[in-house]
């Protein structure tokens, strides 16, 4: 699950620079109803340490500065690889479920 969630988070960040709470909201919109901020932030820290994502603090109209995340070049490569591997997994699971 962790690798899948990482790939989904990276895809969301790839669409636009965004912050943690917004990532959680997007994931929930896509059907990851059980995902909470406590799940996401350790993944974001790990991805940042791996230099897949980077961050910058920006002012917020609603309170303190927010930490916005964006993809690095390594992150873009990681996302491309994730999509290829994910598509292979989907094909394999489909074969199993269809009994091929």
Task: Name residue 57's beta-bridge partners.
Answer: 67
At 17-61, the pLDDT tens digits run 999 999 999 999 999 999 999 999 999 999 999 999 999 999 988
At 55-98, the pLDDT tens digits run 999 998 888 999 999 999 999 999 999 999 999 999 999 999 99
Estimate to the nearest angstrom the gap between the alpha carbon of 66 and the chain centroid: 18
Helix/strand/coil for 12: helix
Helix and strand tally (H, E) in the chain?
A: 4, 3
pTM greater than the 0.85 cutoff: yes
Residue 1 has pLDDT above 50, yes or no: no
- What fold, for 2-98? Arc Repressor Mutant, subunit A (1.10.10)
């Amino acid at each position: 699950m962790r690798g899948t969630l990482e790939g989904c988070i990276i895809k969301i960040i790839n669409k636009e620079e965004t912050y943690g709470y917004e990532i959680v909201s997007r994931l929930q919109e896509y059907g990851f109803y059980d995902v909470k901020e406590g799940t996401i932030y350790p993944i974001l820290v790990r991805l940042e340490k791996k230099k897949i994502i980077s961050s910058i603090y920006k002012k917020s109209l609603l309170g303190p500065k927010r930490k916005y995340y964006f993809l690095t070049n390594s992150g873009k490569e990681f996302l491309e690889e994730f999509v290829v591997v994910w598509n292979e997994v989907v094909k394999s699971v489909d074969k199993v479920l269809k009994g091929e």
